[in-house]
Chain A
């Protein structure tokens, strides 16, 4: 794994009116790692992704993605990044293959390679059989898988995954986790936000624990567990954040 930094954030801050959503956070993500952003609802995870991908402007601070400044060169950066938002937002009126082809067109995948790449991804994600079915007819898990496939159509170097397994059943979530592991093996850097601490423990090389817009700790799951003398990342999370187990239980309920 190379040590080159692909995301560098410095004092990144976001206010929505009077509300402070992200509070002067600084972190780095290295090439090839799976970096997890963990925190309860409203911690600022999605807002951070939106700033890093140019959907929202930081109120203060700066960041670069793959060496491109997010304030002035985000369109350049987008050529090399894939984004999977929390909501599967492809087109209901298009088939699976047409959705992927449209994304390939937008990202400038050469005409001669578009269909081959789209079909390859449909096979990888187990959707080839449904390639001509409309997106609206897909189950939640299939929609999620196709949304990730769409984000990979242009072979990005960096993938942002916002709550990739939220709302999925156990089987679909496990299958998606395997896919994420495979992507990591291919050398794609992954920036992941999740509520699922077990998932973060399984997938992430390092995690940042975020509460009320502030990063409380950044380290590997193993180091965080050692630091807090915990047997699980969830325990470590509770000890670091001071959130009560009841709050965590409510969070879990909401996820289900």
Chain B
């Protein structure tokens, strides 16, 4: 049984990456949008572009992983293609895991492109194992976050609208543009309830000389977010088919 589930997950990832992710709109949304935002903030306040790089990578992961979840889940729900997957001899959680991992892998690819571009362009020297330790759980956390919001609605436009609100709140509160420590105390508390804060923190540590413990804590918290999002997403999807 577990072999069937693993096979199902693998082929769903391959199909989704091929069918949806590696298409110009997904790529541009995942890379161009965060870059444009960061450039806009830099032009408004042109000091230390290097300091914005962790935020840029974090935004790339956030936008690329969540961008196509509405398509791979809501569009397929509407067309009935998701139902077809659920009729295959694999569990419902494997179907959703396949969808989430597809998004996470796309996020990983986009983050790698942005990171290499920034490192080469600005001559930065990050700690690669630390970066990996943060980017992988971040991709999983944001992809499962996208899945959770998408399974709670039916239409693609509803999902996109629902996704936009937390995306923009996180951009402003999670240290992408302005350090969390510079914000009022209440907003700092709020920031630490959001996964993007740990991504930005972890990435900042990867570009500095922080200890491995700090990076490890960020990575563990992000894995915690992944589990916190994926479990209710599975439950919600299974409720749709009761």
CB distance from A29 to the nearest CB of B (A): 18
Chain B contacts with A in 38-96, Cβ cutoff 8 A: 79-81, 83-91
Interface residue? B168 (CB, 8 A)? no
Binds A, one of B7-15, B114-122, B139-147, B184-192: B7-15
Complex contacts, A83 vs chain B, CB 8 Å: 87
With A and B bound together, what is the CA distance between A83 and B86 in angstroms?
Answer: 11
CB distance from A196 to the nearest CB of B (A): 22
Chain A contacts with B in 55-113, Cβ cutoff 8 A: 55-57, 75-76, 78-79, 83, 85, 87, 89-94, 102-103, 105-108
With A and B bound together, what is the CA distance between A76 and B79 in angstroms?
Answer: 25
Contacts A75-B90, A94-B19; is A56 near B241 (CB within 8 Å)?
yes
- Interface size of B by CB at 8 A reads 23
Interface residue? A53 (CB, 8 A)? yes
- Interface size of A by CB at 8 A reads 24
Taking Cβ atoms with an 8 Å cutoff, the residues of B that contact A are: 1, 4, 7-8, 11-12, 15, 19-20, 79-81, 83-91, 241-242
Given contacts A87-B80, A89-B83, 17 further A-B contacts (CB under 8 A): A57-B241, A75-B4, A75-B89, A76-B89, A78-B87, A83-B87, A89-B79, A89-B81, A89-B84, A91-B15, A94-B15, A105-B11, A106-B8, A106-B90, A107-B89, A108-B4, A108-B7
Would you give 19 A-B contacts (Cβ < 8 Å), ordered by A? A53-B87, A55-B241, A56-B241, A56-B242, A57-B241, A75-B1, A75-B4, A75-B90, A76-B89, A79-B89, A85-B80, A87-B80, A91-B15, A93-B19, A93-B20, A105-B7, A105-B11, A108-B4, A108-B7
